[in-house]
Structure 1
Amino acid sequence: MDLGISGRTAIICASSRGLGRSCAIALAEAGCDVVINGRDEKALRATADLIRSTTGVSVTEVIADVSTREGQEALLAACPTPDILVNNNGGPPRKDYTELDRASMIEGVIQNMVTPIELIQAVAGHMCDQGFGRIVNITSLSVRMPIEGLDLSSGARAGLTAFLAGVSRQIAGKGVTINNLLPGKMDTDRLKGGFERAASQSGQSVDAIRAAQAAEIPAGRFGTADEFGKTCAFLCSAHAGYLTGQNILLDGGLFPSAF
């Protein structure tokens, strides 16, 4: 399917690896020029080289921590008027709520709530003026279903979701959409790290932990970065202009709900 966004420009935050990387690749495959971002120069360069060699689009690399004001300024200097913004960022590490202090809670809220809001504030005006814009926020299944040890990440992402529920409807009439992508158990390095942690705590093998967790998912498997990226690209497409203010679960049916 032609997504109708060839020639558009997209900023994809935290896109040197993982789900952000897959979104950048999918948007580049749709013909978008992309601005990609990460803190690991080697990983960022490898992603940029892959996208250039396989798609031929323009790729701009911005080495920065998007949570910082300096990082945001660097991204916006590289692309001050994007047509598409994909908000993504690392979350706080797993930690029991009793171990969280004020500083770590503030940092988590900045990472997963304040940062995407600040970037939306910076780009939404231009999108509204031109009559087209697509904003996708990568949040988490934990917004809908608690995950042990991710209370801070869940709370910050849920706060972002609530904040943008009204904003998305405020600007929908100007051709700008805001949607959230909620990954469940995706086959990424972060998930593998969780297997290793669980294995060390339980004495079971990593393979046994992996198989047990996959069996809990109605689809019988973990999600792939590729299908996540292509879902993101569709939300950014010309065909998704009537889809806004939504939370799209990619979880293989793990969250049991009729609505």
Structure 2
Amino acid sequence: MYWIIEKPQGYVLGNPYVVPDYDNYKIPFAHGMGLISDELFESWKKNCKGESYANIKPENIKCYNDVQAFKQVTGKINEAHILEPLCSGRSLRSQKGFAHKSILLEKSNDLISTGPFLSIMKCRSDAYVLSENWANDESVREALNVKKGSIGEWKRCSSDLDYIATTVDITPYHLNLSARGFRSLIYSGDHDFHLTYISTQAWIRSLNYSIIDEWRPWMVEDQVAGFARTYSNKMTFATVKGAGHTAPEYKPKECQTMMLRWISNKPL
């Protein structure tokens, strides 16, 4: 462990936030995935001409209307994974959602089963609800040797952290790490609509490193698991086919294989 901390060899990022204009790539992504019409896409290209998605000039009404049309059409798409249902509306704030949670919690002792329990898992977020129930269970905490009263309620995603974001563009840090000789693996689930693989490719291109291994499929068990290319700064970019924003959650076997190959300094 000391060697890893004192002599790091590289870093890995999955579907990372790096530049503030990542939203600008949502419309090209949506068009490529068949979520918006050709006409809307062409109108957006003509009227917006690279204008920032988040800061449209007030006088550019046509661009504004195109972006609003895009938002309306895609508003009920799950940004974490475009093929999965959008379940946030059926959260615990609704009676129906609360009843569903109650059923899940009653069945939570059956987590290890593969039959009836999985049949009531309507959404991926159902498992998130159960993870909090599990982690806050006293018997679980005892098994994990958590000292009673030492910590409060565990939350999967907490918004309680008090911080101020002072850096909005991370590309200078990547340039610095590349200059110091660090290897890097940047991967993107190709069905992530929040931080699209297109936006990731764009900031990587902005680093202006030459490509030494062209775009090619990488395989797991003789099946295409994604596509990859390598740059002269020892950076490898890879997509994970069929994965969403948290790629290992959707494609664990493929991501494990990808990581093991990269750590072993082997081609994906």
| TM-score interval for Structure 1 and Structure 2 normalised by the shorter chain | under 0.3
Larger radius of gyration: 2
Tell me the TM-score normalized by structure 2: 0.25
User: Taking structure 1 as the reference length, what is the TM-score of the superposition?
Assistant: 0.26
Higher relative contact order (CA 8 A, sep 6+): 2
